[in-house]
Amino acid sequence: MSPSLRKALAVCRAMREEGGDEEMVEGATPTRDQRLDLATVVEVEDALGTALPNDVLALCALGISALDAGLGFRLDDMPACAQEASEQGRSPDGWVTIGTSEPSPFAATGTETDGSSSHELCIRRGAPAEAEPTILVIGDGDLSAARKVPLGALVREQLARQYGERPEWQSVLETAGGYGSADPDIGPEIVGDPQPDEAPRGPRRVRHAKFGLGTVVREDPDGKELKLEIEFDGVGRKLLLARFVEDAEAC
């Protein structure tokens, strides 16, 4: 998860601790079990034709109600959103629509609405899953007025729009700023560990949909998801997230 989204989720945690009423506390409380089934993630990504950023998966796993109206990232709905936008020619080249939202969280500062009936939220196709994603926000299919916003900033923007006028908001921000960047209460478990309990002995052969068969030469456990350095037959060495390959014996 990117530092920017961690900061945004720190605000949600501070809302639960400093919130002045039940509505604020409830709005910032995760409603889902903070885990996503790996097989479902892979199926959705195959349908979209691109990997989902880890930050997007984190929000899908959490299900924070204060963010649902403005972001609306629901894993099961993403393929249908992408297909509809593509069929109607609303997705610009290089971008994939993964959700729709109410317009007010993305309105210009100082206004209640920008006049749009809905917004489409797109991610860049082929962007690194571990990087902070940029979201393309398109109102009523008007690409000329689309804007690109880092997801963490978009989350903080929506929270401020909903709760920024409350007297306790400044206290919320001050509390959030005091959390460490690696605070364990901020980040969810995105998916279960796809690796077996015991690492297989000897060379591990895997298959990738594009690169074919290869041999794992190194495992990199740094970060939320395991990365594999793989020597692909006739293709060369690649560093990939482990969830994008499967053991050759299982193919």
Q: Each residue's pLDDT tens digit in the chain (251 positions)?
A: 788 888 888 998 889 887 677 888 888 888 877 778 888 888 899 889 888 998 999 888 888 888 876 777 888 889 998 988 888 877 788 999 998 776 554 443 334 444 445 788 999 988 888 788 999 988 766 777 788 999 999 999 888 888 888 888 999 999 888 887 656 565 565 555 444 444 445 688 999 888 899 999 988 876 667 889 899 998 888 888 888 899 887 55
CA dihedral for 189, 119, 101, 157, sign (positive or negative) = positive
pTM here? 0.68
Q: How far apart are CA 86 and CA 88, in angstroms?
A: 5
Specify whether the CB–CB gap between 206 and 213 falls below 8 A.
Answer: yes
DSSP secondary structure code for residue 203 in this structure: P
Burial class (CB in 10 A: 0-12, 13-18, 19+), 130: middle
Q: How far apart are CA 142 and CA 119, in angstroms?
A: 10
What amino acid is encoded at 139 in this protein?
G
Show the tokens assigned to 196: 């077996």
Looking at residue 22, its pLDDT comes to 84
Q: How far apart are CA 152 and CA 21, in angstroms?
A: 25
Looking at residue 116, its pLDDT comes to 47
Looking at residue 111, its pLDDT comes to 40
